[in-house]
């Protein structure tokens, strides 16, 4: 008996070693691929830090020229230290015998995460000569040259300010030099980002193809080797087939809840994901019927667990297709799942079933978020242009079926660019949020307010008489004008130009309506801004302007 078992071991190893080799080799290749992609991700993150730091440095140095504030200069120093650290990394690693400790310190000085330090150094040393990386580094060098000039200018400014008053003409000359440096470094930064992004995409494709080709070759070798061995060992065919089916089922269940039962529906196994999904511990659930764990909400049979087992045994839940279900746990909570069931066959006899349950909660939430993002503006939470045009088109189609009166408004903030140019986009974004709140408070329930882009808004007043629409438009204009907006102690006067179009029983097309509202808004700005311009088809001035625009 012992001799028989001794002979079994090399036979089993002879069958399995090709698969072990495939797994080991594929894991090694996959680990190398993941490490390389992780290094690319670290480089992309580092590029973002470098780009942000150079923008911050230019901004704070320009602000320092205006304010002479030492704190502002220190902020500039904090910003410029990031690209200087990245520059040190490159110079150290380009040496024939690089000082790796100095390179690590420079990587950390560049603001990179501690976990990314070794990946960044490894990737640079091994991929420095690749064309995409070479191109990115060349643009990187170009950007660093501009930033070096910027730092020289910063030192000069700081020294001159420390020595005493500086003439305004000198300050303006400094700001001009800062602007020239900014104009040079910005294209270099963008080209650096583009080259690095293209390189990462090419590398991803190369790694993917390499993994696929390698996997196919290894699988082919393992398959041929296994086929030869299996032909000599027919006695093990049944046992191997059973183990193969179990392995396949287990692999399909990874990451999802897996429950196995006997033919009567009594639970034999639950994986940790099933415990989390059902709120039952496997040790407590063993031997219980499926109905003790959960019930199908859409089932009317009193014996839901048995009914589910019957469905699996009949083959209705078998195959690659997933079946959506809503289950209710014993605590009353419900969860949406995708369900796959299959029979377990042993020597031609059905010995039980296996259920694979995939929790769809996150997927459904993700789909809902995507749906919301597709129809709403991320900054303000309002409907976006696409959603606004859809609702307007629906309103126009409704007029074709049933008489009614709607009104369409285009609103364009006056001198909004002044806020962005003087205080930055953060101030502009905050002003837009305030404007949205003001406009929303002046509308009726059911009216549609949308951000069409930039500082342009659209309003759809459904079933609104013209007189009331004009009162609402004037009220919105006054509310915007009355808005008291202050950014960092600086007040701004806000006004809006409004173009109003009345849509009656015989509506035009969507394009015609939008063009009319846009034209009316344009005329409101032409006539001095901060006013409401009502569109009339017979308005000669509008017709002339409409013709000029066409």
CB 372 within 8 Å of CB 386: no
> How far from 264 is each of 140, 283, 288, 301, 325, CA to CA, in Å?
68, 19, 10, 16, 21
Q: Of residues 86, 256, 377, 455, which has the active-site annotation?
A: 455
Q: How far apart are CA 316 and CA 310, in angstroms?
A: 9
Residue 101 neighbours by CB under 8 Å, 6+ apart: none
Q: How far apart are CA 396 and CA 260, in angstroms?
A: 57
HSE at residue 78, side-chain half, CA atoms within 13 A, is: 8
Ranges of beta strands (E only) in 431-516 are 448-453, 456-461, 484-487, 490-493, 496-503
DSSP string, 385-426: HHHHHHHHHHHHHHHHHS---EEEEEEEETTHHHHHHHH-HH
String of b and e for 348-368 (b: at least 16 CB within 10 Å)? eeeebbbbbbbbbeeeeeeee
Angle at 254 between CA 281 and CA 343, to 5 degrees: 80
Ranges of beta strands (E only) in 308-404 are 323-329, 334-346, 349-359
> How far from 129 is each of 121, 126, 266, CA to CA, in Å?
14, 8, 62
Q: How far apart are CA 268 and CA 255, in angstroms?
A: 19
Q: How far apart are CA 320 and CA 316, in angstroms?
A: 11
Q: Is 455 a catalytic residue?
A: yes
Q: How far apart are CA 295 and CA 333, in angstroms?
A: 11
Q: What pairs with residue 384 in β-bridges?
A: none
Q: Are strands 406-413 and 456-461 parallel, antiparallel or unpaired?
A: antiparallel
> How far from 133 is each of 19, 96, 137, CA to CA, in Å?
37, 19, 6
Q: How far apart are CA 373 and CA 447, in angstroms?
A: 20
Q: How far apart are CA 111 and CA 371, in angstroms?
A: 36
CB 395 within 8 Å of CB 503: yes
DSSP string, 510-525: HHHHHHHHHHHHHHHH
Contacts 24+ apart (CB under 8 A), 275-280: 277/335, 277/337, 277/357, 277/359, 278/329, 279/329, 279/330, 279/331
Dig out the tokens for 75 from the structure: 């902020």
Which residues are known catalytic residues? 455
């Amino acid at each position: 008996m012992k001799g028989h078992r001794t002979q079994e071991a090399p036979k089993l190893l002879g069958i399995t070693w090709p698969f072990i080799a495939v797994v080991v080799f594929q894991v090694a290749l996959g680990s190398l691929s993941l490490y390389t992609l992780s290094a690319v991700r670290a480089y992309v993150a580092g590029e973002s830090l470098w780009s942000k730091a150079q923008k911050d440095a230019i901004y704070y140095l320009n602000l320092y020229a205006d304010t002479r504030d030492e704190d502002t200069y220190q902020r500039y120093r904090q910003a410029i230290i990031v690209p200087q650290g990245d520059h040190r990394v490159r110079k150290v690693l380009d040496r024939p015998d690089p000082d790796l400790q100095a390179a690590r310190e420079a990587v950390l000085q560049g603001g990179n995460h501690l976990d990314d330090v070794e990946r960044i150094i490894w990737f640079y040393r091994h991929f420095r000569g690749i064309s995409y990386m070479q191109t990115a580094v060349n643009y990187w060098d170009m950007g660093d040259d501009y930033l070096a000039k910027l730092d020289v200018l910063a030192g000069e400014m700081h020294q001159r300010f420390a020595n005493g008053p500086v003439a305004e003409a000198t300050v303006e000359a400094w700001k001009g030099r800062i602007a020239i440096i900014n104009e040079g470094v910005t294209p270099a930064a963008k080209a650096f980002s583009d080259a690095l992004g293209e390189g990462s995409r090419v590398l991803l494709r190369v790694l993917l193809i390499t993994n696929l080709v390698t996997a196919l070759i290894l699988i082919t070798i393992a398959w041929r080797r296994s086929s030869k061995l299996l032909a000599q060992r027919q006695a093990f065919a049944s046992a191997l087939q059973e183990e193969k089916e179990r392995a396949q089922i287990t692999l399909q269940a990874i990451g999802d809840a897996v429950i196995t039962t006997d033919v009567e529906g009594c639970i034999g196994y639950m994986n940790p994901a099933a415990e989390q999904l059902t709120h039952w511990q496997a040790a407590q659930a063993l031997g219980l019927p499926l109905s003790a764990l959960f019930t199908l909400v859409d089932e009317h049979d009193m014996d839901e667990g048995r009914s589910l087992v019957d469905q699996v045994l009949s083959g209705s839940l078998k195959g690659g297709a997933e079946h959506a279900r809503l289950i209710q746990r014993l605590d009353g909570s419900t969860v949406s799942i995708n369900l796959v069931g299959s029979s377990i066959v042993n020597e031609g006899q059905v010995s039980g079933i296996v259920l694979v349950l995939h929790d769809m909660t996150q997927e459904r939430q993700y789909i809902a978020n995507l749906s919301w993002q597709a129809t709403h503006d991320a900054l303000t939470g309002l409907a976006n242009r696409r959603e606004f045009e859809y609702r307007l088109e629906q309103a126009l189609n409704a007029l074709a079926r049933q008489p009614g009166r709607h009104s369409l408004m285009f609103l364009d903030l006056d001198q909004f660019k002044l806020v962005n140019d003087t205080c930055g986009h953060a101030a502009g974004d905050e002003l837009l949020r305030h404007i949205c709140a003001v406009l929303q408070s002046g509308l009726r329930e059911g009216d549609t307010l949308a951000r069409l882009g930039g500082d342009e808004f659209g309003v759809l007043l459904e079933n609104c008489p013209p007189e009331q629409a004009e009162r609402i438009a004037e009220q919105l204009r006054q509310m915007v004008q009355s808005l008291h907006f202050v950014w960092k102690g600086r007040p701004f006067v806000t006004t809006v130009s409004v173009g109003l179009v009345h849509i009656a029983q015989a509506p035009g097309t969507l394009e015609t309506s939008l063009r009319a509202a846009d034209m009316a808004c344009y005329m409101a700005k032409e006539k001095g801004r901060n006013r409401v311009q009502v569109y009339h088809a017979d308005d000669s001035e509008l017709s002339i302007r409409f013709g000029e625009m066409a």
